[in-house]
Amino acid sequence: MTSIDNVTDITPRRQYVASAAQTAFDYPFPIFTDADLLIDVDGTTQALTTDYTVSGAGADTGGTVTFLSAMSGGEVVTIYRDTAIERTTDFRQNGPWTAASTNDQLDKLTVICQELGAKIKRCIRWPFTAAQTDAGLELSPLSNWYGKMLRISSTGVLEAADIISSVVALSADVIGQLIHPRTAAEIAAGITPTYYWYMAGDVRRYGGDIQTAINANPLGYVWLPAGTYALGATGLVLPTTGCRIEGASRNGAIITYTGTGTAIDGFTNGASYLALGHFTLHCSDDAANGFSFGNSCRQILLDDIFVQGSGAAGNTGAAFLLSSGNGFSGNLSANLIYGLGFKYGVKCVGVVSGSNTWTSMSFTQCWLAGRSAGIIAGSAGIWFDANTNGVGSSFIGGSVESFDVGLRVDDGSYGLDFAADNEGNNTAYTVGNTFVGRIKLFNSTGNGQEASRNGTSQTWWQCRQLLGEVEEENYYDRKFLLYDDSSASATFGIYRGSKTKSFISGTANPTLKAGFVLGVEADAAGVRNYMTVCGHRLGWDSSAPASGTWGQGDVMWNTGAAAGGAPGWVCTAGGTPGTWKAMANVAA
């Protein structure tokens, strides 16, 4: 056995994570022989001389373990000392005695104590300050432990216990509590799940109660698997902020409501920054509203939802009731919404249009239908009352049908940009003088597009279309004006029409200062085709006009022009038909 001069207070263990191609690993504690070291690589004990060699035996500061094969990188290498507990020196009575032999034995005892101390530190044990007595640490006979596990009793005694308790059965709910324990939000709300095997937010975790699921996840995700969820007469109240409620599909997740209030209430808490989608809502009572939002609501997303009302003649509810309450509400986005059987599709009610009101609402590809089997009196597909701001709002695509009024914007509201199908309504739209927006209708009775500016002097533009081609467009000072025969002048525009509809015909005979007009005019001699360019008409016929009102400078070209004859006629004095002179003959 090699002698050691000095044994310092050190833990006889080192662990490394190997680098690629690494072979040498240091150990900083003394050993007597190479066999005193044990080497482990990723849980496998290595063999001395076969897998590694050792240098530094007898050195106070340790040495090096060198592997015969380089590491790949990432291996966990553990080096620890495990000195054999034996005595190799015996001192005889009155025999020779040396200090070196005595030191070697004392050094060996010291390193063995170090190793035992390191092992004890890695064991589960009571601190010396604990009240536990030594007697309480004794184990019962070994036969008591067959098929058992170690358990500490309520009195601090080690005892044998069944591995699977005979008191609590291993059920899906027990496993669920391990996989999906109560969340911090559930604990804060004082909610204990009914079925733990469903994850937080799944309504089945709360026995199918949607309101409990919302309360337990006010900032999280609420999932509605396919099925029917009966609210009874008590509607849902949405949280102040952040919730997302999603159904399995529009036809898969069905919510029913029998009350007279609002089925899904986002008004009470001023619900903001939330999203709802992919389910159907049935409201059976005539007075019920489908959804309500307001009270300073912000950032609401509604997607792929079917809202069904009673469809009765006495229905007074709204698929979407947007009531301002306190402060501005806005940024509501609805997509692929189907609202059916309510007196109102979208009903906006403000308090003060400049402060407590709704604004910035967007409806895309939505279908609002009232009651086709007898339209409800006073019903409206979209209604903005006088205190609804409406700025930045739009209804694009989809349809509004079977209402008393398709689009109703009361005087005082600013309105919206509407471009959708509007048919089957008693009145397509009614708007007040304050309306600022665009209305573009697509229906079987004629297509139209109109817009206005604010104030009682509002100016309208209308574009009527036939088979996709513009038949009539009218402009006034780059604003839009609907012309008729009494119009006297136009500053900018283009026109195509007939005598009976043209603002060119009649006694007014307006002047088009910058534009282009195509038209036809009939007189005793037949039908003349003409165009108007910069206020003067150009026509083609076999003779000069004999009827109709013409202006000085108008030209009628000869459809039978030939060599040596007149190419056409010029009106030298305006009148009915005015004075016409032949142009100089063309060359023979």
Q: What is the DSSP string of 114-166?
A: HHHHHHHHTS----TTS---GGGGPPPPGGGGTTEEEEE-TTS-EEEEESS-S
Q: How high is the pLDDT of residue 526?
A: 45
String of b and e for 443-481 (b: at least 16 CB within 10 Å)?
Answer: beeeebbbbbeeeeebeebbbeeeeeeeebbbbbeeebb
Q: How high is the pLDDT of residue 376?
A: 95
How do 405-409 and 475-476 pair as beta strands?
unpaired
Q: How high is the pLDDT of residue 358?
A: 87
Rounded Cα distance, 336 and 397, in Å: 10
Strand order in the sheet with 44-45: 13-17, 76-81, 37-41, 44-45
Q: How high is the pLDDT of residue 435?
A: 80
Look at the alpha carbons of 48, 49, 51, 53 in this order and tell me if their dihedral is positive or negative.
positive
Rounded Cα distance, 58 and 80, in Å: 16
Rounded Cα distance, 393 and 417, in Å: 6
**Each residue's pLDDT tens digit in the chain (588 positions)?**
666 767 788 889 999 999 999 999 999 999 989 999 999 999 999 999 999 999 999 898 999 999 999 999 999 999 999 888 877 777 777 777 777 777 777 888 888 888 888 888 777 776 666 666 655 566 667 777 787 887 777 776 777 777 765 556 667 777 888 888 999 999 999 999 999 889 999 999 999 999 999 999 988 899 999 999 999 999 999 999 888 999 999 999 999 999 999 999 999 999 999 999 999 999 999 999 999 999 889 899 999 999 999 999 999 999 999 988 778 888 999 999 999 999 999 999 987 766 778 889 999 999 999 987 899 999 999 999 988 888 889 999 999 999 999 999 988 887 788 888 888 999 988 888 778 777 877 654 444 445 444 444 444 444 443 333 333 333 333 333 333 333 333 333 444 443 333 333 333 344 443 344 555 454 444 445 677 777 788 888 899 998 888 899 999 999 999 999 999 999 999 999 999 999 999 988
Q: What is the DSSP string of 180-222?
A: SPPPHHHHHHT---S-TTSPTTBGGGGTT-HHHHHHH-TTSEE
Q: How high is the pLDDT of residue 11?
A: 84
Q: How high is the pLDDT of residue 206?
A: 95
Q: How high is the pLDDT of residue 446?
A: 45
178's enclosing H/E stretch is: helix 172-179
Q: How high is the pLDDT of residue 412?
A: 85
Rounded Cα distance, 523 and 550, in Å: 13
3-class state of residue 577 by DSSP: coil
Tally Cβ neighbours within 10 Å of residue 578: 17
Rounded Cα distance, 554 and 576, in Å: 13
Reference 448, options 482, 413, 479; nearest CA is 482
How do 568-573 and 221-224 pair as beta strands?
unpaired
Q: How high is the pLDDT of residue 135?
A: 54
Q: Are 220 and 243 in contact (CB under 8 A)?
A: yes
Rounded Cα distance, 561 and 199, in Å: 91
Domain boundaries, the chain: 13-87+105-120, 171-227, 231-458, 493-582
3-class state of residue 497 by DSSP: strand
Collect all residues with Cβ–Cβ distance below 8 Å to 312 and sequence separation of at least 6: 286, 341, 371
Reference 357, options 276, 452, 419, 293; nearest CA is 293
Tally Cβ neighbours within 10 Å of residue 14: 17
Rounded Cα distance, 545 and 548, in Å: 7
Rounded Cα distance, 185 and 220, in Å: 9
